[in-house]
Amino acid sequence: MKVGSLFSGMGGFDLGLERAGMRVEWQVEIDPWCQALLMAERPTIQVYGDIKKIVWETVRPVDIVCGGFPCQPVSVAGKRQAQNDPRWLWPEFLRCIRILRPRYILIENVPGLLTAGFADVLSGLASCGYDAEWDCLPAGIFGAHFRRDRVFIVAGRPLPCGMRWEGIGSSKNRTWSQQQFARLVEHELSICVPASKGQRVSDGFPHRIHRLRAIGNSVVPQIVEAIGKMIMEVER
């Protein structure tokens, strides 16, 4: 399955879906540093810049469009102005969907989206003929050494009847038990130097690469891989 990646950051969505057996066709990222990282990691993939300036009619169609649009407008750490925040880029995400009409859409954002702007997202998807399922998934149950709750939305035209969240966050995907999780966190914290020295706990990316500049511009790949495998299984 072919993937188009919006708000790619350092490529967490891309890595997870590639692990699930998909192929990334193009990426969209405005940050120059992240652009350089993406092009260095995947030099054969087209990287677009400002999403507001893309003429989607000229972009190759894909089976899946994925991305986590900026969370600042809905984060509980901010003013939560949602649609009134100039950083609210869901309309640009929707513009891509309306033109490319992918079979699936995969969206990620902070839990604050559920209480600010969520209706806008669902109504936009519905206006394009997409059904949607969503859940709030913590990274810890997929093997990360931290919790990091994030909302993930899967949409389709219509969403296949086999596409449900049952099992995604269930015990079969809990790669670490609660005791293992606690021990791993304790170990990570014991070897960390102060944050000012640039150390953090494991984030799911290989070799702990590029974290100081770009780790906030991504999702945890393990979660996306599990969702990608669910989509591939439904397709089979």
Active site positions, annotated: 71
Bridge-based pairing state of the strands 104-109 and 23-28 = unpaired
Contact indicator for 234, 162 with CB cutoff of 8 Å: yes
Dihedral sign, Cα of residue 7, residue 9, residue 14, residue 17: negative
- From the list 128, 174, 168, the residue with the least C-alpha distance to 152 is 168
Torsion of CA 38, 2, 44, 18, to 10 degrees: 60
* Residue where the block lists tokens 């290989």: 206
Residue with tokens 């950083």: 87
Q: Beta strand pairing status for 23-28 and 46-48? A: parallel
Contacts of 127 (CB under 8 A, 6+ apart): none
**Phi, psi (5° rounding) for residue 189?**
-65, -30
Distance CA 99, CA 163 (A): 24
Residue 51 in tokens: 């999403």
